[in-house]
Structures are given as C-alpha cells and as structure tokens.
Amino acid sequence: MSSISKKTILVVDDEKQIVEVLSAYLEKEGYRVITAFDGRTALDTALSESPDLILLDLMLPELNGFEVCRLVRNTSSIPIIMLTARDDETDKILCLEVGADDYITKPFSPREVLARVRAVLRRSTSEAQNQDQEHMKIGTLEIDLAKHEVTKAGSPIQLTPTEFKILEAMAKSPGRVFTRLQLIDYVQGYSFEGYERTVDAHIKNLRQKIEDNPKNPVCIVTVFGVGYRMEEGNNA
C-alpha cells in the first residue's frame, strides 16, 4: 500500500456522482485524490499540482477533454486516461492522437478503472527501476532507458509513457517486424484485439515527434499487412 500511497490522481468529470464514486474507490486503495468538474479547472489543477495520473472525462464545460489533454501534453507527460460516454471508434482514436495513454468507455465499473489506473501507473513509473543502465542510439535518436529520456540531434523529445514503451520495444530490436498485438502486449502486459487500432494512433504520434518528415517515415516504417519495424541505421 505504501508504494501507491504517494500517488496523486486527478479525477475530472462534470458528473458529481462519478467523481465521488471514483474518488472513494481510489482513496480506499491508498491513492491521494484531487478533483475538478470542468475543463478549465482541470487544466489549471494539472499544471499546478502535477498529479501522477489524470482520469479525464471527454465531455466537459469550459474546455472539453480533448483540449485539456492537448494542452497538458504541451508541457507534461503525465499519464492520462480518458473517460468517454461515446462508443464511436473515431473518438477513441482521437483520444490517443491528442496524447491520452488509455481510454475507458462509460458506463464502466470502478474495478475496471482501478485496473487501468494500476496498469498505466506501472508503465509510467517502473521502467527506471527495472531497466538496466542502457543507452541506445539509432541515427540521431538517443534513448536513455534508465533516465526515461529521448533526444533527437541533442534536443529532448517529450513522449507519453505508452509512446516511450513502443519506442523502447522497437529500438531494442531494430529490423524486427512487430505486429500490433505484440506491441500491445509489450506495453500493457497483455494483448487484446480490441486495442489493435490504438497502436496506429500511438505510432502516428511517435512519428510526429521523431521523424523529420512524418508523412514519409524512415525510422518507424509500416510493414503492410503485418505491423511496424524500426529501421537499422536510419537517418531519423
């Protein structure tokens, strides 16, 4: 319990009952919970409090969840799980494209939320403790697993925990083709076909950050009908 008692979760939803239920479950598990009921307050709280994770509703007054997530991502890699009442696949992909690490569709059970929170926090906090002091260089891209840092031509690149894990997986085996399900399994510790499309959104985000020309990628290339591969000796 002590390992998570220091973790702070920002719960954002304009439905007070949802906030109260999630807060109760999270606090029972030892997390510290702070709350917001609109997008503007959520953004201000995220930037001032620097929580360890944000549970962020999509439909909010003042600023919607997409905007809050996008603005947080401008300065921070805080893990974000989006809560959405829409079951449309396009909205789910958009959540990931603006930088969310995961999404949960309403209605949901508090147990599911807790499981997702644990999984995302595990991804974002345990790598530095469990990785060797390994430093990889691929072209102008440098990846420091111990420090959880990525630079391109000496300039730092800010990645979400999920993006970092995908990059890590491919950088460790340049030239190897990874299926989407293999990347999901590496990131989450389990594979689920319903998440297969989400890998494409994360890859798109990664390319925007590490490729000179994201529309003509030379670092992370698509192997049509299979998945993705990191090129050996690329010029990224």
Q: Domain range spanning residue 94?
A: 2-125
pLDDT at 4: 47
Final residue of a structural domain among 59, 90, 125: 125
Strand 177-179 to 155-157 pairing: unpaired
Whether 33 and 27 have beta carbons less than 8 Å apart is answered as yes
Nearest to 123 by CA among 207, 180, 49, 185: 185
Domain check: are 193 and 204 in the same one?
Answer: yes
- CA-angle at 48, arms to 165 and 25, nearest 5°: 65
Domain check: are 149 and 170 in the same one?
Answer: yes
Q: Could you give the CA distance from residue 10 to residue 117 in angstroms, rounded to a whole number?
A: 11
Nearest to 201 by CA among 152, 166, 233: 166
pLDDT at 187: 80
Indicate the burial class of 156 (C-beta count within 10 angstroms; 0-12, 13-18, 19 or more). exposed
pLDDT at 132: 47
Q: What is the count of structural domains for the chain?
A: 2
Mapped onto helix, strand or coil, the DSSP state of residue 179 is strand
Final residue of a structural domain among 125, 159, 181: 125
Final residue of a structural domain among 70, 103, 125: 125
Query: What are the residue ranges in the chain where pLDDT is below 70?
Result: 1-5, 87, 125-133, 189-195, 232-236
DSSP H helical ranges for the chain: 2-5, 16-28, 39-49, 65-73, 89-97, 110-125, 127-130, 161-172, 180-188, 196-210
Residues 178-208: tens digit of each pLDDT: 888 888 878 876 545 556 778 888 999 999 9
pTM, rounded to two decimals: 0.64
In a domain, 17, yes or no: yes
DSSP assignment, residue 160? -
Q: Could you give the CA distance from residue 96 to residue 4 in angstroms, rounded to a whole number?
A: 25
